[in-house]
Homo-oligomer: A and B are copies of this chain.
Amino acid sequence: MSLTHLDEKDRPKMVDVSDKSLTERVATASGVIQMSKEAFQNVINEENKKGPVLQTAIISAIMATKQTSNLIPMCHPLNISGVNCDIDELKDDLSFKLWVTVKLKGVTGVEMEALTGVSIGLLTIYDMVKAIDKGMIISNIQLEEKRGGKSGDFKR
């Protein structure tokens, strides 16, 4: 196999998808942010009130999925059909796991949209908690599942 985003002169290109078929596509990605006990506790306590940190993360994740093609140079602009997010509170790991699922009826996959949503959502948590803990680590940003399209389904 070779890199699809380069032309014969090794110049970057946006791959031509005009011949691909219009199908329903779904991609789910996830990622984790780990923090100190004090930081984790603060977010959890807020969650018991109105949860503004996690809610802000979800809103920024949804909005970021719509910016994917402005951020990732070779990504095609897409009219996303729907986005769902969820957050797991992993108390034993002092972590939050953010899930983003993106749907599209279109000609290209939406992995990048789901992964971008996860990345920006986790950075939003980092931003809102960084006054307490600057050492937080974001990890395991990965594609969980992908359906639709010629290259076949993917399930981690």
* Residues of A108-136 whose CB lies within 8 A of B: 111-112, 115-116, 119-120, 122-124, 126-132, 134-136
Please classify how large the interface on chain A is, using the bins under 10, 10 to 19, 20 to 34, 35 or more.
Answer: 35 or more
Q: Is the CB of B55 within 8 A of A13?
A: no
Cβ 8 A contact of A46, one of B1, B9, B10, B124: B10
Main secondary structure of the interface of A (DSSP, over half): mixed
A–B pairs, 17, beta carbons within 8 Å: A2-B42, A3-B42, A3-B129, A5-B53, A11-B58, A12-B58, A56-B73, A66-B70, A67-B67, A74-B128, A77-B79, A105-B107, A112-B123, A112-B130, A119-B138, A134-B143, A138-B139
**Residues of A in contact with B (beta carbons under 8 Å apart):** 1-7, 9-18, 24, 31, 38, 42-43, 46, 49-53, 55-56, 58-60, 62-67, 69-87, 103-107, 111-112, 115-116, 119-120, 122-124, 126-132, 134-143, 146, 151, 154, 156
